[in-house]
Structure 1
Amino acid sequence: MESLLQQLERFSEVLAVSRTTHVSSWDPATIRRALQWARYLRHVHRRFGRHVRIRTAMERRLESQWKREDGSRPASVPGLTNFRALGSCDLLLSQRLLANRALGDAAFHCLLRQLFPGPGVPDAEEEALQGSLALCARRRSAVHLLRLNGFGEKPALRDDPLIKTQAELLLERLQEVGEAQAQSPGGLLSGLWERLPRNSFLEVIAAALLLPPSPRPPKEILELGGSKAPGEGGHELLHWLLGRSDIMVVFCRSLPAGLLTSVAGRHPELFRVYLDLLTDWGRHLHYDLQKGIWVGAEAGGATWEELHSRFQSLCQATLPLKDEVLTALESWKAQDGGFEVPGVSIWTDLLLALESGA
């Protein structure tokens, strides 16, 4: 019995630490041990819930652990406070760690993999924990699960289970906000843009725009008054992105060409804006006769290599998208005089490069 009480006391301290900056020293192994410990105590709760003597002893130990020396209770108790809390100690631990920005990248990613292992057959308890965490994340703006630091470019970004989870939670939260009318979806997105790491948030936006809409039952669609209901979160996300020209520029400059082509192929409105931006970037390049290359007029602007890569990706897309891009390039070439000589028109040189596969 004493051994069990000591374990309870030590885990209560672990739970308290999970709110502090001390978790910055936690590694993936520590995360796994802490979750295993929490799950063990959940089983203790289930096993001894009706055992009065053991339950009373645990309650007394928890009560005495967090009392001040003068006998009063602290304003906010950081650890477990009663026996009932044991039934959800894994949820409490997960919530606190997901909300703690001091947790390192490796430990954070390990935590997500432990909580959302992807395809498989988890037991009923694990499914319940995942459902509770998803609900908490939606209700708390999904900010905790959107904190993806350190992710680089990924060719198969939409297949990444972590980013896909963030995208799904973001769309669900946007739909909930729209239905509750307590906050505008645009306001929520602008707040996330200001608070979250920019590159990570852009990746989540792209993944969300690539997710298929989750259709609702026909009856629910009719009750909501139209065909706009399915994929409402995606509609709000696209509307916000297209309405923020500053963010749209960063979106098109920061994400890989292949990913942007996929998003553009799914959303014609976004494709037109993307093509307009590429046009503008191309017109800001000039031909350097001495070097024999196209260069930007100012530092930090789009380069010939970047422009060529993005047009090449668009021309490798499905026929409707490819045809529209080639038609636009031919039109801009004609507006420049239709010259076939390299170095006169950026559009001529782009067409020649695309045709040669260079």
Structure 2
Amino acid sequence: MEAVLKNLESTAEFIAVSQTEYVKRWDESTVERAFQWSDYCEHIYKKFNTNPTIRTAIENRLRQTNEHLRKTFTEHRDLTFLDLGRCRDVLLVSLLKNPACPCSVLKVILGSFKPNDGCGDSPVSTSFSDLLGFISCKSAGEVLRATNGSRRETAGLCVESLAKGSILREHIEKLLSHKGNESLVGSLLDSLFQPGSENSASDIIAGVLLSCEDLPAHDVTRNLIFSWLQANPNSILNTCQALPVLTLTELAQQSEGFWLAYMGILKTWAWALSYDVTVGEWVASEGSGVPFTTLTEHFRSLLSSGHSLETLRELRELKEGDGGFEEKGLSVWGDVLSELSTGQKLPDAANILWSE
């Protein structure tokens, strides 16, 4: 039994390191060994989950190990007995969320979590451009296929996030290939948005969705993630706060529901603004909303997208509901529309609506 506890302790240490900058030192063999230990932990969980005596012994050792690791790593996340049952997921999320995770490690987990899709198992170079080529060959859609070594971002999102999203997408697809695993996927997504890591989580979620962009509208993975986002107000708020405007526009074009939720957040930000007559500008109270210029940037991008008509119609209705004022400073919606009318290029149908 002591050998089992020692092995669990080693796995907890691996996962703790995966959350730190020391992961930069990992090579292929280290990553593979970490996932092997994760598989071992899942086996131990299944074997002893219903044995109260052994479970208590394991929980006590994990508690001691966590106390030790918290002293060594200030941002350590405790590994619990329940985590052992999904230890592979815990390790995967830790690596994906860690900005220090090198491309060589991404390459290994990309290969570990992707099913065999007939592209073969040719050796993969550790160069960044070859990593992107590997992602393209394996499963990524048009967005990833369009990237290369000289193009560092797509739709406002860096290629590292697209790569991580592609990895997570394939893992989710594997989970969803078995009925009843939807709740597991929800738990996996929940674990991404732990306090303090919302920005990196949003990048990864966007990477998943952008890698699904070439798939049919009824794609199960994409629709599940969009539904999960819309059912979690804090997560979608963090996503809108963290992602570039161009990325949010791309996501809004993929999902009507996301566009509606995104518009709801933009409205909340607008209503948080108040007009300061001393400076002649709309300003946000400290800690809430976004500056007026940022708000108009979001709307300007949407007006150049597939939702231009709906966005413009919504803005005009909001202006009319606010009194329809043209004078500056009386209605945030009137001033947003006034700002957008300057140099805004719109599709023909939207131009007709604008001129009415």
TM range, normalised to the smaller chain? 0.5 to 0.7
Residue deviations 1:31-65, cap 9 Å, x none? 6xx669x9xxxxxxxxxxxxxxxxxxxxxxxxxxx
Measure, in 1, the Cα distance between the counterparts of 2:267 and 2:17.
50
* 2:337 matched residue in structure 1: 351
1:250-269 alignment runs, 5 A limit: 250-269=238-257
Q: Which has the larger radius of gyration?
A: 1
Does the 8 Å contact 1:261/1:313 carry over to 2?
yes
* Shift in Å, 1:311: 1.0
TM norm structure 2: 0.55
Q: Does 1:109 align with 2:103?
A: yes
Structure 1: give runs of 5+ residues left out of the alignment: 1-15, 39-96, 135-153, 217-226
* Number of equivalenced pairs: 243
Q: Does 1:326 align with 2:309?
A: no
* 1:338 matched residue in structure 2: 324
Runs of 4+ with >4 A deviation: 18-28, 97-101, 104-107, 113-117, 157-161, 213-216
Q: 1:195 to 1:282 in 2, by over 3 A?
A: closer
Residue deviations 1:322-345, cap 9 Å, x none? 121111111111112211111111
Q: 1:188 to 1:110 in 2, by over 3 A?
A: closer
Kindly provide the amino acid, as one letter, of the partner of residue 262 in structure 2. Y
Measure, in 1, the Cα distance between the counterparts of 2:168 and 2:22.
28
Does the 8 Å contact 1:168/1:208 carry over to 2?
yes
* 1:181 matched residue in structure 2: 180
1:91-240 alignment runs, 5 A limit: 108-112=102-106, 124-126=122-124, 156=154, 160-178=158-176, 179-182=178-181, 184=183, 185-194=185-194, 197-212=197-212, 231-240=219-228
* Shift in Å, 1:106: 5.7
Measure, in 2, the Cα distance between the counterparts of 1:126 and 1:340.
60
* Shift in Å, 1:193: 2.2
Q: 1:350 to 1:211 in 2, by over 3 A?
A: same
* 1:281 matched residue in structure 2: 269
Taking only aligned residues, the RMSD between alpha carbons, in angstroms, comes to 4.4
* Shift in Å, 1:199: 1.2
Does the 8 Å contact 2:273/2:285 carry over to 1?
yes
* Shift in Å, 1:188: 2.2
Does the 8 Å contact 1:158/1:207 carry over to 2?
no
Does the 8 Å contact 1:288/1:295 carry over to 2?
yes
The sequence identity of aligned pairs, in percent, is 24
